[in-house]
Chain A
């Protein structure tokens, strides 16, 4: 059974701090690792990682994948109150044919205090 584990489950920081969110995965026929941000409603896409060691960056957010250790991290620098959200990690794999599906972790609840 595919499994994705995120840590920590919750985190409280002050504005300006840097945070690192962790994600480990065990996914059959692994294809990709995705990060999403969820505020009040549906998750919004942040990154998709398919290759080891190549950092993806978007503003203050960055992420990297280690396919040997089955691990990914999401970094947020100079955090702002608007970064407060649940951050979801998901592992994507093909169980057979075109049966691609994402298995999600429980998420990390990030609270950024002013």
Chain B
């Protein structure tokens, strides 16, 4: 069966520090992968999605970047965090059925 792992679960980082959040999927190949952020307004905002290795689409201009070095690995990064980067980050994958499965999320607080 397919599983998705996301870590860390919580993170407190100072302004200006780098960020790396990792997401891996098991039990499937060539999944579509996504990074979402959920801020105080509760909606999930799509940040990046990827349909294959090295293929990244960015939905909103921001201080973050994403990479997909392997088929089942998706990484969210920043060189210098801003206060506004705080939020709940969710990784997700989808296959042909159209449904998403979410990782457990990372709560990032930038101080």
Contacts and interface: CB of A to CB of B under 8 A. Distances in A.
Contacts of A106: 41-43
A1 B102 CA distance: 23
A48 B99 contact: yes
A50 B32 CA distance: 19
A42 B103 contact: yes
What's the dominant secondary structure at chain A's contact region?
Answer: strand
Interface residues of B: mostly helix, strand, loop or mixed? strand
A100 B32 contact: yes
Given A99-B51, A100-B32, A101-B34, A43 B102 contact: yes
Interface in B74-104: 90, 94, 97-104
B57 to A, nearest CB: 7
Interface of B: 32, 34, 36, 41-46, 49, 51, 57, 90, 94, 97-105
